[in-house]
Amino acid sequence: MPELHYPEIRALGLFSDMADAHFQSLMRGAYVQNFPPQIELIAEGEPSDFLHVVLSGSVDLFSTWNGRDTSLATVRPISTFILAATIRNAPYLMSARTLEKSRIVLIPSQDVRAIFDVDGIFARAIVTELARCYRAVIKSQKDLKLRTSLERLANYLLRQQKRAGGGASFELDVEKRRLASVLGMTPENLSRAFKGLRPYGVAVEGTRISIGDQADLERFARPNPLIDDFST
């Protein structure tokens, strides 16, 4: 892999503190690849041969069963995915596909496990990352089980607004049909849910969302850090 990318990978919390020799050794076996949009990177059920790091672009994690499918998460730069499968040397639970042109680092899983076994600092960094991911899924589980689809959408918009800088107007950065899947509903229902939020001051124009009355929307959505704050 070109050393050019070392610094940005090294900057990830997962790799930032480990011994340099170990980092170099991981990188030696890794390689970078550019993928066009809509390429399936991994399929659920396959053995976890590589830990993936998204350098640019974005990746959809999804799953399929009995003819249905659902989006579980979106991975954005710079972060890793399928860490848990790599560590447990177990099959992938989710499939992954690029949403746009993406540059992705592939690190052989056996290298990751080997370094994990000898580098306590790396092991601890993995713990921190896994704990973060675990808590994120629990939050998402609570979102799904405790809220109606309208409430999920309202809270999603508030989160996205925050991510986009907090202004009254912002862009959705996912396709609506994917958003519907992430929120656990059909595209048709997402359309209706947007209309359902109109009484709370939400206006939609294509991918642009405007929140007319912040307080009103929040009164309806009741955002909660134990569900919506993905930083803890």
Binding region for DNA (CB under 7 A)? 148-150, 175-177, 184-192, 194-195, 204, 206
Nearer to a second copy, 2 or 65 (CB): 65
59, 118, 204 from 150: Cα distances, Å: 26, 48, 15
Return the one option of a second copy, DNA, none that residue 186 interacts with (CB less than 5 to 8 A, by type): DNA
Return the one option of DNA, a second copy, none that residue 192 interacts with (CB less than 5 to 8 A, by type): DNA
Contact flag: residue 131 with a second copy (CB under 8 A):
yes
Residue 162 token pair = 């925050």
Return the one option of DNA, a second copy, none that residue 185 interacts with (CB less than 5 to 8 A, by type): DNA
As a whole number of angstroms, the distance between CA 185 and CA 65 comes to: 16
As a whole number of angstroms, the distance between CA 151 and CA 225 comes to: 15
Instruction: For the CB of residue 95, give the shortest distance to a second copy in the complex, in Å.
Output: 10
Range in contact with a second copy (rule: CB under 8 A) among 3-11, 65-73, 166-174, 186-194:
65-73
Cβ-Cβ contacts under 8 Å for 218 (sequence gap 6 or more): 158
**According to CB under 8 A, which residues from 43 to 62 bind a second copy?**
44-45
**According to CB under 8 A, which residues from 156 to 185 bind a second copy?**
184
24, 136, 141, 142, 169 from 154: Cα distances, Å: 45, 18, 16, 15, 14
Rounded to the nearest 5°, which phi and psi values hold at 222? 50, 60
Proportion of the chain in helix, strand, coil states, percent, rounded to 5 = 45, 25, 30
As a whole number of angstroms, the distance between CA 220 and CA 229 comes to: 17
As a whole number of angstroms, the distance between CA 33 and CA 41 comes to: 11
Instruction: For the CB of residue 51, give the shortest distance to a second copy in the complex, in Å.
Output: 12
Mark 87-126 with x for binding to a second copy (rule: CB under 8 A) and - for no binding. Answer: xx-xx-xx---------------------xx--x--xx-x
Mark 6-45 with x for binding to a second copy (rule: CB under 8 A) and - for no binding. Answer: --------------------------------------xx
Q: Which of 134, 171, 207, 215 binds a second copy (CB under 8 A)?
A: 134
Q: What is the DSSP string of 201-228?
A: TEEEETTEEEES-HHHHHHHH---HHHH
Tokens 């042109």 belong to 101
Return the one option of DNA, a second copy, none that residue 195 interacts with (CB less than 5 to 8 A, by type): DNA
Q: Which residues bind a second copy (CB under 8 A)?
A: 44-45, 63-66, 68-70, 72, 83-85, 87-88, 90-91, 93-94, 116-117, 120, 123-124, 126-128, 130-135, 137-142, 144-147, 151, 184, 222, 224, 226-227, 232
